[in-house]
Structure 1
Amino acid sequence: MTRPADHLSVIVTRPAPGAEKTCQQVAALGWRAVWHPLLQIEAIPRPLPEGDFTQLVVTSAQVIPALQDVARDIPVCAVGAATASRLRAHGFLNIVTCAGNAASIVAHLGSAPPSGRVLFPTGAQLGLKLTYALQARGWDVVRHLTYRSRPVTSLSDSLISQIGSGEVDAIMFFSSRTASAWVKAAAGTDVDSSRIRAITLSAAIATRLTPSDWREISISDAPSHDAILHRLGPAPQTKRDGCDEFP
């Protein structure tokens, strides 16, 4: 039996602040968007490092609240259009948007100029690969921890119920940590995801999931918000005459 499109759910697993926009755009595609964050975000209140910086690198909007005392005219390399937009809303003026991976940032910044110093606000246990890559190009990188994320340890009863009743068509994973959190949280339940699409932002995220557990694992063509929404696609069109369709 095919359910009406407005009864098909897509689970958005990313934490705030990005989740709100994602849910709105998922709903605009005709799905019922359900927010179930798999990471809990906790701010780390710390003063900014002292000294001058020639470049600011922002890979997540999670760090923006910690940038209140950063000069608004500093050159910024931001990952993703959504993060860049939030930075502009907070007054930053000189922003270049890079793709969602370390290689694109390194390619944009290139070799360090004399006294090239990067402020890199990030989360605990994150950003090491990018830090090392920039250091290899001669940059003095100051990795400034502004938040930590903790994976959830259980799935909500309402989500388990929706999956059991066949209401969930897809679950969207935006990071390797959210995918790993899902695997661990679902392991303690009788959740059957074999009728569900897993939609991931990258191939690296997909490797955290077991293909046989899912109807399919669909990987975004690019590590961007628009690309993962394109991979999700619009909700199927079904008859709205009060009866479900039967094959």
Structure 2
Amino acid sequence: MVRVLVTRPEPGASRTARRLEAQGFQPVVLPLTVTSALLAEATVGADTVAVSVTSANAVRHAPKALIATLVGLQCHAVGKRTAEACRAAGFSSVTEGPGDAEALAGTIAGGLAGKTVIYLCGRVRFPVFEQRLTAAGVHVRAVETYDTKAVDYGDAEVFAALSGQPVEAALLYSAKASAALASLIARPILRLLFENTEFLTLSARVAEPLDAAAGRRIRIAPQPDEDALLALLSQPR
């Protein structure tokens, strides 16, 4: 049975593990990042016409009082999972984007020029979404609802999580997790566990921190969503 390392934080890690088991793979859960809520608030002005969300974590970690002030606005979610989280939080009008933050910005920018959009987001994020909207004349108010930090594992902890056995594949959802995994691979005592591992990443940006360590063993999902990522496991190697 193919052993697949799941590196995303909970609760997503357990959800992904269940999907892998259903598809006949053996999940090995080792979250390389952890998310935590931040104090966050926002004032909705007369020119505020929408909310944008590029990560489900931004909604899950947002204070209920903050969400209550925003649920009446049009909500633009980056993709399916994030849209589901927005609806679960109480947003009644949610549009589902193409799955990529930059593409979402391109989709919504034209209709929002001169208006203000509240962007629920993490402290750690790529700037391209905000940059593209700003360039189109949209006023973006970033409201950071959560932070993401790498988990510092000792060698013994990694060995225990992997049962001292190599993994055939590793799933990477963020550049921060990729950087953390690259750091683990660099440790001589752990290197053999990843000597033949294929690294499956959500996007080219996520893959970048692993370039030096993994090279040709990196494969990038054709679409930045989990369905496309997991589909790589069943494709010829």
Q: Which residue of 2 aligns with 1:91?
A: 90
**Which whole-Å CA distance do the structure 1 matches of 2:15 and 2:198 have between them?**
21
Would you tell me which structure has more helix in proportion to its own residues? 2
**Structure 1 residue 42, shift from structure 2 partner:** 1.9
Q: Which residue of 1 aligns with 2:203?
A: 202
Partner SS, residue 51 of structure 1: coil
**Which whole-Å CA distance do the structure 2 matches of 1:148 and 1:44 have between them?**
7
The answer to whether the 8 Å contact 2:115/2:139 transfers is: yes
**Which whole-Å CA distance do the structure 1 matches of 2:168 and 2:150 have between them?**
23
1:212-227 aligned within 5 A: 213=214, 216-227=217-228
Q: Which residue of 2 aligns with 1:56?
A: 51
**Which whole-Å CA distance do the structure 1 matches of 2:89 and 2:37 have between them?**
18
Q: Gaps (5+ residues) in structure 2?
A: none
* Higher Rg: 1
TM-score (norm 2): 0.85
**Which whole-Å CA distance do the structure 2 matches of 1:190 and 1:29 have between them?**
31
Q: Gaps (5+ residues) in structure 1?
A: 235-247
Distance 1:48 1:185, change over 3 A: farther
Q: Given the alignment of the two structures, is residue 230 of structure 1 paired with residue 231 of structure 2, yes or no?
A: yes
TM-score (norm 1): 0.82
Q: Given the alignment of the two structures, is residue 165 of structure 1 paired with residue 168 of structure 2, yes or no?
A: no
Distance 1:114 1:38, change over 3 A: closer
Amino acid at match of 1:217: I
Select 2:13's aligned residue among 19, 34, 43. 19
Q: Which residue of 2 aligns with 1:241?
A: none
1:113-192 aligned within 5 A: 113=112, 115-154=114-153, 157=156, 159-161=158-160, 162=162, 164-166=164-166, 168-191=167-190, 192=192
Query: Identity across aligned pairs (percent)?
Result: 27
**Which whole-Å CA distance do the structure 2 matches of 1:82 and 1:31 have between them?**
22
**Structure 1 residue 189, shift from structure 2 partner:** 4.8
